[in-house]
Amino acid sequence: MRRHPPTSGTVTSGERDATQPQVRDQAEPSLSNATNRVDSGEAGQITLTVNGVTHHVDVADDTLLLDALREAVGVTSVREGCGVGACGACTVLTGGTSVSSCLALALRYDGAEITTAEGLDENDDVVSSFVECGAAQCGYCIPGFVLMSAELLAENPRPSEQDITDHLEGNICRCGTYPEIRRAVAVAAERRSPK
Amino acid sequence: MREIEQSWVGGSRPRFDTAGRVRGMIAHVGDQAVGAAAHVAVHRATQPHARIEAVHVDEALAMPGVYGVVTGADLYKQLGDRLLTGPAFADQPALAHEKVRYVGEPVAAVLAADLATARAATDAIWVDYEDLPPVYDLADALAGTAYVHDELRPSSVFGDLKHLRGVRDTNVNYTYNLRTGDAEAARDAGAHTVTGEFWAPPTHHVPIELPCTIAWVDSGRLEMLTTTQTPSYVRQTIADLLDLPLSRVRVTTRPLGGSFGAKMYDRLEPLAAALAWTAGRRVRVTATREEAFLLTTRHGAAVSSSLTADAEGNLVSSVADVRYDTGAYADVGPRITAKSGMVAPGPYRIANARVLSRCVYTNKPSAGPFRGFGVPQVTWSHESLIDELAHELGEDPYAFRRRHLLREGDEAPMGTRMHSADFVGCLDAVANAIGWFDPLDRGTGRIRRGRGVAVGVKAVLTPTIANAVLQLNQDNSATLLISTVDMGQGSDTIMAQIAADVLRMDSRRIHVVRADTDATPYDTITAGSRSTYHTGNAVRRVAEAMRDKLIGLAAERFGVPAEEVSLTPDGPRAGSHEVTVAELVHGHFGARGATLTTEANYTSSWTPYDKETGRSDKVTEHWFAGAVGARIAVDTATGRVRIEHLAVAGDVGRAINPTLVEQQLSGAAIMGIGHALFDQLVLDQGQLINGTLLDYQLPSIRDLPDQLTPIVVESPHDDGPFGAKGVGETGILGVAPAIANAVRDAVGVRLTRLPLTPESITMALEENQ
Ligand code: FES
Ligand code: FES
C-alpha cells in the first residue's frame, strides 16, 4: 500500500492500487515548491497537535508538512529520503492514517492530530517488537516502518505475511532490514492479539 | 552464558542504541539546528562537456534573501590550484572552473537566508557555454578523439601515481596489468575456452539519509559537522584546500543513516569549507535526492574475458580486459581498477593469468567507492565464465568450482597466499542450504526452476592505519575514542565488545565517541570492510594496555608480582587479595570520577605490486571469502525471476557479534538482488534520466526471497582481533552471478549484461528458440 498523497483538504483519502506505477500526480509537486518560492507569501498560522502537544506554527502556502514538523515543531524522526513519496522515511500518522509528509502541504493539516515515532511509548507493541527483533541497522528508515506497521495492525490485527508485505512495500530500507522488520510486525501482532 | 559474557566477543548483544533508532531519536547531521546560517543551493551544468564563457549572476544576486553568489572562478581566484581535490587525482573543483565535465556539475553556489530562496535563485543564473566534443561512454573515451581532462593530475595522497603527472591526450587515468605465466599461449593451446562480453551498469548507493554538511569559522579555524565515512581524510583535504595546519581544521560526525560508499572522500565538504572560509560565515549545504544521485555513482564496468581448461579439466588460462567508467572525475577509481583487476581471474588455481584493467574518464557523474569496491563487477564475469565452462565440460558447476578453489596457503594468480579465506566452506554451506544435492522440481509449463552458485574474493584495503584511545572511568565505565563512523554496521557496538572482552567488563558500560578530529585519533577510513580488523586490533591493543595498567596498580596495592594478578568481572584478584576496579582507581587518584588513559595503534603493511606483472607476495593484509547460492523460478512468459531461496555465506574469521554479522550478510544480499534484477542508472547523451526515487528502482520488502539464509563461516585469522575480519562487502560479491547461473540452469540462456530484466530474459529465450 502507498501512503496517502494529499489530494484534498481532508486528511483521509482513498487507497490506491499498489500495482499502479508511481507517478508524480500530486496536486502540488514538492520539489518544484522548494525551487519556486518566489510567488509564495506567508499564509499565516496553523495549529498542529503533535504527539499530544499543540503547536502554533507559521507556514507559507507552499510549506510542506515535513518541513513544518522538522523545523518548527522540532521532530527529527520524520525524515526526507526522496521528496517524491517513494521511500516512506517522512511518514506520519494523522488520525491514525499514514501520510507522506514530503507531499503534504502543511496548510491542509491545520488542526490535525499527528503521531510520529517519538510519540509512541517505548513499551508500545510495535516499538518493543522492533527493538527485540533487532529491526534497525542505521535506523534512518525505521520510524516510517514503525508507523506503517502501527497503521496496519490497527486495521488488521492478524496480518498474514502477504498483508505485511503489501502494506510495507512503499517503504525503502536500504540497509536491507526487511527480514527483521517482517518478523517484528508478526511479533507485534501476536503480542497485541494472541491467538 | 552469563549476561556479561553475552556482551563480549561472540555474544549477540543488541546495538546499544536500538531503542533510540526505532523511535527516530538519534540525531543525525541534518537534524542539528544551525541558527543564522547561509543556506546553499547549487546551479548545475546543463552541458556534458563545455567551456564556461560567462556566468551571469546579477539577477540571482538581486533577489531578496540572497547573500551572495560564488562561482568556480571566484574560488579559483582565492585558492588557485588548491581548488582541485580528490583522493587519487586532484582533478575535481568544488565548483566548475573553466570547463564543465558532466551534466549536473556544480557551476555556481547561492548563499541565502533560507533553502527555498537559495534554490529559487539558482534558476536565475545563466551560463554561456562553448560546447566541446562529449565523451559519452567507454567506446568514445577509448577512441581517443576528445579528452575529458587536458592532462592527468595525480594527488599527493597516493605516492605511486606520481609517474602519471602531466600525461596528456588520454582518457585512461590508470592501468593495472596482471601477468602470470603466458595466459594467451595457454588459452590458444587449451582444450576448452569460454568467452564473454560482460557489462555491469552504473548504479547508485541511495543511502536513505541525504548528505549534509555544516561548516563555520571559529577563531581562525574551519570547523564542520558532516555526513562522512572518512573524517580523517576530509580533515586533510580541507587543510590542503585552505592551506591550514591540521590543527586548525575540525571535522565532526554523527551516526550516518546508511552510506555504502556514498559519503566518503570529497562530496559536499570542499564546497562547504571553501564557502564558509571565503564568506566568513556558517553555511549549510545539503542535497536533494536528485542532487545526491549526481554526487557519486558505482562504476559501470565492461569486462571482455575468457577462461580455458585443458583436456583433463584443469584451469590453465584466464584473460580479462576490464574497463571501469569513472565518469568526469577519478575519485578513487584508480584504486578500484587495481584492487578488482587483481582478482578478475577469481579465487581459483589458475596457472596463467592476464588482466588489463583500466580506469577511464567520461563526461558523466563521477563514480567512486560502492560496497564491494569494483569487485562485484569482475565477479560477475569470472563466476559466469566458470559456470559456463563447467556446463561445456558437462561437469557439475558446484563440484567444478570446488575442485579448483584456492585452499589455505595456495598462491592466487597475483602472487599472494591465502589465509583465513575458506572458499570451500562457504561454497559447501550455500550449496547445502539451497538443497543443491537434492532432486529439484524443475517445473512445468511456463514456470521453470534452476539453481546457481557463485564464489567471491576481495582483498581488504591495505596498508591502513588505525588508532584508539581508551579512558577508563573511576566507576568502571569507559570512553573509547576512535574515528570509525557507525553508519548502521554496528561498529560502536562491536568495538565496545572487543574492549570489554579484554577488560572483563560489561560492554554496555563503554561509550564510543563519534568521530571528531579534535578528539578522536587518526583512522584511515571507515570503508572497505577494514574496521573490524584494523580498528578492532587497535581497540584490542588499547584495552590490553589498560588491562596491564590495572594489573600493575593492583599488584602494587596487593604487594604481589604482576604475574600473580588476574582481571575478573568483579575486579583484579591475586590469591585472597581482591579489589574492585572502582576502588582501585579511586585509591590510585584519591578522587571519584578520575580517568586512566591508554592509547594504541595498529598499522597493516603490504608489498606494492610490481608495475609490469601486477604481482606481490603480500598485496593485502587479508582476504574476504564469500559464496552465494540461489534457487529460483523463471516465468518464461514474462521473464520474471522469483527467488525461492538465497543463501549467502561469508568467512568472517570470527564473528564478534553473530547477529550483526548476519545482518551485514543479508543486507548486502538484498542490495545485491537489486543489482542482479533491476538496479541501474540510465544515462542518455550524458543526461541522467532516472535520477529520482520515482524512477530508480530499489529492493523493497516485496523483493525479499521466499527464504534468505545468511551463513557465518569462521576460519580465524592469525592476526585478527580474536581472529576476526570485516564483513560489510562479502555478501554482495556473488549475488548477481549466482542468480544468473540459476537462470542458465533453469532455462538454458546465458545472460552477460546486468540487470537481468524480464525483457532481457524473454528476449534471450526468443533468440534461443
Ligand atoms: S521523503 Fe517522503 S516518501 Fe520519501
Ligand atoms: S535501517 Fe538503514 S535504511 Fe533501514
Q: What is the CATH number of the domain that holds A180?
A: 1.10.150.120
pLDDT at A62 over 80: yes
User: Is A160's Cβ below 8 Å from some Cβ in B?
Assistant: no
* Residue A18 touches partner B, C-beta closer than 8 Å: no
Residue A14: HSE in the Cβ half-sphere, 13 Å Cα cutoff: 2
What's the confidence (pLDDT) of residue A121?
95
Is B272 a residue whose pLDDT tops 90? yes
Residue A96 shares a structural domain with residue A57: yes
pLDDT value of residue A195: 73
- Residue of minimum CA distance from atom 3 in ligand 1: A85
CB contact under 8 A, A34 and B116: yes
Cβ atoms of residues B178 and B413 within 8 Å: yes
Last residue of a domain, one of A118, A153, A169: A118
Q: Quick one: fold of B35-134+206-295?
A: Aldehyde Oxidoreductase; domain 3 (3.90.1170)
Ordered by start, the domain boundaries in chain B are: 3-28+464-603, 35-134+206-295, 297-461+609-768
CB of B255 within 8 Å of any CB in chain A?
yes
What residue numbers bound the domain in which A57 lies? 32-118
Q: Does the distance separating the beta carbons of A169 and B700 come in below 8 Å? A: yes
Is A18 inside a domain boundary?
no
Residue A8 has pLDDT above 70, yes or no: no
CATH architecture of the domain B297-461+609-768 equals 2-Layer Sandwich (3.30)
Choose one of A87, A90, A91, A175 to mutate for the ligand 2 pocket test, by most ligand atoms within 8 angstroms of C-beta. Answer: A175
Is residue A7 in a domain?
no
Same structural domain, A51 and A92:
yes
Tell me if A79 and B488 make a contact (CB, 8 A cut-off): no
Q: Closest Cα to residue B340, out of B528, B113, B599, B504?
A: B528
State the angle between helix axes of B581-589 and B531-558 in degrees (0 to 180), rounded to the nearest 10: 70
B172-224 tens-digit pLDDT: 999 999 999 999 999 999 999 999 999 999 999 999 999 999 999 999 999 99
Question: Given an 8 Å threshold on Cβ–Cβ distance, is A131 in contact with B119?
Answer: no
CA A66–ligand 2 middle distance (angstroms)? 19
Residues A145, A68: one domain? no
Q: Residues B572-595: pLDDT tens digits?
A: 999 999 999 999 999 999 999 999
> Which residue of chain B is at minimal alpha-carbon distance from A126?
B22
pLDDT at A18: 36
The alpha carbon of residue B255 is apart from the nearest alpha carbon of chain A, in Å, by 8
Write phi, then psi, for B380 (nearest 5 degrees): -55, -40
All three cell numbers of A96: 491514525
Give pLDDT, residue A5.
55
Query: Ligand 2 center to residue A141 CA distance, Å?
Result: 5
B11-20, B352-361, B650-659, range with the lowest pLDDT: B11-20
Q: Are B57 and B114 in contact (CB under 8 A)?
A: no
Q: Is residue A16 part of a domain?
A: no
Does residue A66 surpass a pLDDT of 90? yes
Q: Provide the whole-model pTM.
A: 0.95
pLDDT of residue A194: 84
Domain closes at, from A72, A91, A118: A118
Chain-chain contact of A175 with B24 (C-beta, under 8 angstroms): no
pLDDT in tens, B43-94: 999 999 999 999 999 999 999 999 999 999 999 999 999 999 999 999 999 9
Residue B528 has pLDDT above 50, yes or no: yes
User: Could you tell me the CA-to-CA distances from B86 to A84, A164, B238, B240, B249 in Å, in that order?
Assistant: 32, 45, 11, 11, 18
Q: Which of residues 90-129 of A touch B (CB under 8 A)?
A: 116-118, 120, 122, 127
Q: Give the per-residue pLDDT at A42.
A: 63
Both A181 and A144 in one domain: the answer is yes
* C-beta of residue B615 within 8 angstroms of C-beta of residue B415: yes
Domains B3-28+464-603 and B35-134+206-295 share a fold: no
Residue A154 domain flag: yes
Q: How far apart are CA A163 and CA A142, in angstroms?
A: 19
Sign of the dihedral defined by the CA atoms of residues B80, B81, B82, B86, in that order: positive
Burial (0-12, 13-18, 19+ Cβ within 10 Å), A171 = buried
pLDDT computed for residue B139 by the predictor: 97
- pLDDT, tens digit (0-9, with 9 covering 90-100), for B133-185: 999 999 999 998 999 999 999 998 777 888 899 999 999 999 999 999 999 99
Is A36 within a domain?
A: yes
pLDDT band at A11 (very low <50, low <70, confident <90, very high): very low
pLDDT at A10 over 50: no
Check CB contact under 8 Å for A36 and B693. no
Output the DSSP codes for B630-673. EEEEEETTT--EEEEEEEEEEE-SS-SSHHHHHHHHHHHHHHHH
CATH of the domain at A106: 3.10.20.30
Q: Do A46 and A107 reside in the same domain of the chain?
A: yes
**Would you say the CB of residue B258 lies under 6 angstroms from ligand 2?**
yes
Of A85, A136, A172, the CB nearest to B208: A172
Residues A108 and A166 occupy one common structural domain:
no
Same domain, A182 and A111: no
Select from B15, B208, B700, B704 the residue to mutate for testing ligand 2; criterion: most ligand atoms less than 8 Å from CB. B208
Domain count of the fold of chain A = 2
Please compute the mean of the pLDDT values over residues B292-296 and round it to a whole number: 98
What pLDDT shows up at residue A132? 97
User: Which three cell numbers mark B229?
Assistant: 565515512
Query: Residue A188 falls within a domain, yes or no?
Result: yes
- Please tell me whether residues A141 and A151 are part of one structural domain: yes
Q: Indicate if the pLDDT at residue B538 is higher than 80.
A: yes
Residue A159 lies in a domain: yes
How big is the A-B interface in CB pairs under 8 Å? 184
A107 and A48 assigned to the same domain: yes
Task: Say yes or no to pLDDT of A1 above 70.
Answer: no
The answer to whether residue A22 sits within a structural domain is no
The whole-chain average pLDDT of chain B stands at 97
Question: Alpha-carbon distance B86 to B78, whole Å?
Answer: 19
Residues 6+ away with beta carbon under 8 Å from B675: B200, B203, B376, B732, B735, B736, B754, B755
Which of A59, A63, A140, A180 to probe the B interface (max B CBs under 10 A)?
A140
pLDDT value, residue A77? 98
Indicate whether A3 pLDDT > 80: no
Q: Are residues A158 and A113 in the same domain?
A: no
Q: Looking at the domain B3-28+464-603, which fold is it? A: Aldehyde Oxidoreductase; domain 4 (3.30.365)
